[in-house]
Amino acid sequence: MDGPAHGYELIQRLETKTEGRWRPSPGSVYPQLLADDGLLE
C-alpha cells in the first residue's frame, strides 16, 4: 500500500485502489489475515 494505515483507512485505500470493486468489511482488514492471503508483505 502507501505506508502505514489502520482500520477504516485501509478499507478506504483498498476501495480506491480497486476502483470500488472491493470494499472489505472491518473484520477482514486484520494485518495477519491480509499477510496470510499474500496481500501484505
* Residue 33 confidence (pLDDT): 77
* Residue 18 confidence (pLDDT): 93
CB 1 within 8 A of CB 24: no
In degrees rounded to 5, what are phi and psi of residue 11?
-60, -45
Q: What is the pLDDT of residues 1-41, one digit of tens each?
A: 577 877 888 889 989 999 999 988 887 777 777 788 887 77
* CA quadruple 10, 12, 17, 19: dihedral sign: positive
* Residue 16 confidence (pLDDT): 94
Name the CA radius of gyration of the chain, rounded: 9
CA distance 40 to 14: 12
* Residue 1 confidence (pLDDT): 54
1-7's contacts with Cβ under 8 Å and 24+ in sequence apart are: 1/40
Domain-wise residue ranges, the chain? 7-36
